[in-house]
């Protein structure tokens, strides 16, 4: 359905429609999230990242619908609204270094790479991680580094981080991720065990090492699986 990027980008109109749908959802959920609209940086990123090149060929025609899509191995590419919201809640900028737990298709990493200086991304499933790293390289994202590993452990060699976003639901917030967050840094993470209601949470690390936690809104994510 969509070809390579060029002067006549056939996906541009579809992305614009998706951005409008995300804008509408921001307005609808503003009482829960505290955000009435996307920040200019995140809005620009959502209008630029080529989601159709980060999904399987069979899903490309649905790439710009505002809902999750399967990417294989029981995993999904997150709903564009949630991707935008997570980036906005982090509050990062072009000086920020971000950790993403759960590379998946690479879509969230690409959006973060548009608004932050550097993105480190961890994926437990090797085939997904390798494929995402290849696609992100092809798209020119030189500021993203992908690693195969256990997301619960974070990436201590690259810590501390200005922001951490987790793209799968954990039954609790991993302490290792809190430890790797800078004072004043933020973490966006879906929390909820099997059979429980999941909530997207925003954590802000205090100077004393503790965290302030805010429940943002109910969500549904695949589980964050620990490494063996």
Residues serving a catalytic function are: 78
Q: Work out the number of other CB atoms within 10 angstroms of the CB of residue 29.
A: 16
| Kind and range of the H or E run holding 82 | helix 80-90
Q: What is the dihedral of CA 47, 135, 128, 38, to 10 degrees?
A: -10
Which helix (H) or strand (E) segment is 81 a member of? helix 80-90
- Cβ pair 101, 154 in contact under 8 A: yes
Q: Kindly report the backbone phi and psi dihedral angles of residue 216, in degrees, each rounded to the nearest multiple of 5, phi listed first.
A: -90, -60
What interhelical angle do 12-28 and 40-48 show, nearest 10?
140
Asked if 187 contacts 208 with a C-beta cutoff of 8 angstroms, the reply is no
Q: Can you list the positions of beta strands (E) in 53-143?
A: 69-72, 75-77, 97-101, 118-123
The secondary structure of residue 11, as a DSSP letter, is T
Grouping H, G, I as helix, E, B as strand and the rest as coil, residue 32 is: helix
């Amino acid at each position: 359905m969509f070809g390579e990027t060029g002067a006549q980008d056939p996906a541009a109109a579809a992305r614009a429609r998706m951005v409008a749908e995300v804008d509408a959802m921001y307005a609808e959920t503003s009482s829960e999230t505290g955000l009435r609209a996307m920040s200019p940086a995140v809005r620009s990123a959502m209008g630029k990242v080529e989601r159709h090149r980060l999904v399987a060929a069979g899903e490309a025609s649905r790439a710009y619908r505002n809902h999750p899509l399967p990417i294989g191995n029981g995993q999904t590419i997150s709903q564009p609204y949630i991707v935008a919201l997570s980036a906005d809640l982090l509050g990062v900028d072009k000086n920020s270094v971000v950790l993403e737990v759960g590379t998946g298709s690479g879509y969230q990493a690409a959006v973060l790479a548009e608004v932050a200086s550097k993105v480190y991304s961890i994926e437990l499933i090797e085939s997904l991680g390798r494929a995402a790293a290849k696609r992100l390289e092809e798209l020119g994202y030189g500021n993203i580094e992908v690693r195969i590993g256990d997301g619960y452990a974070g990436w201590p060699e690259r810590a501390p981080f200005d922001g951490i976003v987790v793209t799968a639901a954990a039954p609790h917030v991993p302490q290792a991720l809190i430890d790797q967050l800078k004072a004043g840094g933020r973490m966006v993470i879906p929390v909820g065990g099997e059979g429980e209601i999941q909530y997207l949470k925003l954590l802000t690390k205090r100077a004393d090492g503790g965290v302030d936690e805010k429940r943002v809104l109910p969500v549904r994510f695949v589980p964050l699986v620990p490494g063996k």
